[in-house]
């Protein structure tokens, strides 16, 4: 057995959080909401994707935000995303601790930490 790829990532949200999630995952990140199979739709949550990136939001009855564990997304404009996130009212944390990368952390409406980074050339 050899791992080939990641099919999707799942991020937990609280019960009834789907409407609060859409402005972040759909509008800010540009992911397109996908219909869930009927049996799974009854559980709540939402599925989003764009290109080869799939993010599933799963409802947790006893929800607690992931403030350490996170998903990291490669993006082409870290600064632009940070500006748009701030303008939309989302918390953004600048982070320059990863050499060779421009990166930020953006917190979704529920406090989940997501990383966004772009490799940059390191000047000698």
The per-residue pLDDT string of the chain (124 residues; one tens digit each, 9 = 90 and over) reads 888 888 999 999 999 999 999 999 999 999 999 999 999 999 999 999 999 999 999 999 999 999 999 999 999 999 999 999 999 999 999 988 888 999 999 999 999 999 999 998 766 5
Q: In this predicted structure, what is the pLDDT of residue 16? A: 96
Can you read off the two tokens belonging to residue 102? 């421009």
Q: In this predicted structure, what is the pLDDT of residue 112? A: 98
> Considering the domain boundaries, does residue 13 fall inside one?
yes
How far lies 119's CA from each of 35, 81, 99, in Å?
33, 15, 9
Can you read off the two tokens belonging to residue 57? 């939001």
Q: In this predicted structure, what is the pLDDT of residue 3? A: 80
What is the residue range of 35's domain?
9-119
Give the CA-trace dihedral at 9, 15, 18, 21, to 10 degrees: -70
Number of domains into which the chain is organized: 1
> Considering the domain boundaries, does residue 124 fall inside one?
no
DSSP sequence for 40-88: HHTT--EEEEETTEEEEEEEETT----SSS-EEEE-S-HHHHHHHHHHT
């Amino acid at each position: 057995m050899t791992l080939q790829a990641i099919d999707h990532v799942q991020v937990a949200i609280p019960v009834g959080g789907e409407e609060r999630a859409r402005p972040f995952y759909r509008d800010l990140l540009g992911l397109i909401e996908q219909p869930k199979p009927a049996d799974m739709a009854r559980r709540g949550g939402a599925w989003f994707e764009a290109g080869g990136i799939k993010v599933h939001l799963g409802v947790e009855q006893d929800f607690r935000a992931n403030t350490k564990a996170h998903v990291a997304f490669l993006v082409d404009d870290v600064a632009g995303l940070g500006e748009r996130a701030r303008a939309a009212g989302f918390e953004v944390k600048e982070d320059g601790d990863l050499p060779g990368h421009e990166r930020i952390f953006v917190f979704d409406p529920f406090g989940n930490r997501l990383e966004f980074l772009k490799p940059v050339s390191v000047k000698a």
